[in-house]
């Protein structure tokens, strides 16, 4: 059981782990031992996720989620299978935890009078600076 929040947890039965060979450091075992982990979690069919969290998780996952709704997390940071497995589970928990946070809605506000005055004063100053750069007209014309 992976605990996400106080009220949300994912049972082990919903996770599918596949161990593959990792690229990168590994010494003599790099071509013999499958230490990298592909953690698969079926977001679309998971009964553990509320519908709002499911929708936000699909949006947050980006290209880590397949068209079938399966989230794939690859972990190959460490040289041992156990540490990569823990890393993949921690990253899954963190991603789901981020999806549980409901985004705050933005309320439109009007600019204050002082901010309007500052903006206009800045525009005025900029215009004067540009005006001073122009060539001086001769008075003979």
pTM summary value: 0.66
Does position 83 have pLDDT exceeding 70, yes or no? yes
Residue 133: strand, helix, or coil: helix
Average pLDDT over residues 84-93: 89
Weakest-pLDDT range from 21-30, 42-51, 103-112, 120-129: 21-30
Distance CA 105, CA 103 (A): 6
Highest averaged pLDDT of the listed ranges 74-78, 104-108, 133-137:
104-108
Q: Which residue has the tokens 């004067």?
A: 128
Q: How many helices (H) and strands (E) does the chain have?
A: 3, 5
Average pLDDT over residues 102-124: 94
Phi, psi at residue 108, to the nearest 5°?
-70, 135
Does position 139 have pLDDT exceeding 70, yes or no? no
Distance CA 63, CA 70 (A): 11
pLDDT attached to residue 101:
86
What is the residue-averaged pLDDT of the chain? 84
Question: Are β-strands 36-42 and 15-20 bridged in parallel, bridged antiparallel, or unpaired?
Answer: antiparallel
Categorize the per-residue pLDDT at 59 as very low, low, confident or very high, splitting at 50, 70 and 90.
confident
pLDDT attached to residue 103:
86
Domains and CATH numbers, the chain: 2-100 (3.30.160.20)
* In the chain, alpha helices (H): 51-61, 81-100, 113-133
SS3 labels along 73-95: EEECCCCCHHHHHHHHHHHHHHH
């Amino acid at each position: 059981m992976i605990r996400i929040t106080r009220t949300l947890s994912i049972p082990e039965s919903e996770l599918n782990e596949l161990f593959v060979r990792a690229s990168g450091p590994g010494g003599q075992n790099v071509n013999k031992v499958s230490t990298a982990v592909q953690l698969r979690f079926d977001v679309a069919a998971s009964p553990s996720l509320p519908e709002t969290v499911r929708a936000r998780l699909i949006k947050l996952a980006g290209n880590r989620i397949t068209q079938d709704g399966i989230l794939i997390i690859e972990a190959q940071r460490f040289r041992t299978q156990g540490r990569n497995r823990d890393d993949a589970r921690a990253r899954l928990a963190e991603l789901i935890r981020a999806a549980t946070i409901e985004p705050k809605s933005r309320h439109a506000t009007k600019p204050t009078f002082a901010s309007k005055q500052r903006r206009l004063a800045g525009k005025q100053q900029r215009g004067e600076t540009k005006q001073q750069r122009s060539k001086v007209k001769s008075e003979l014309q």
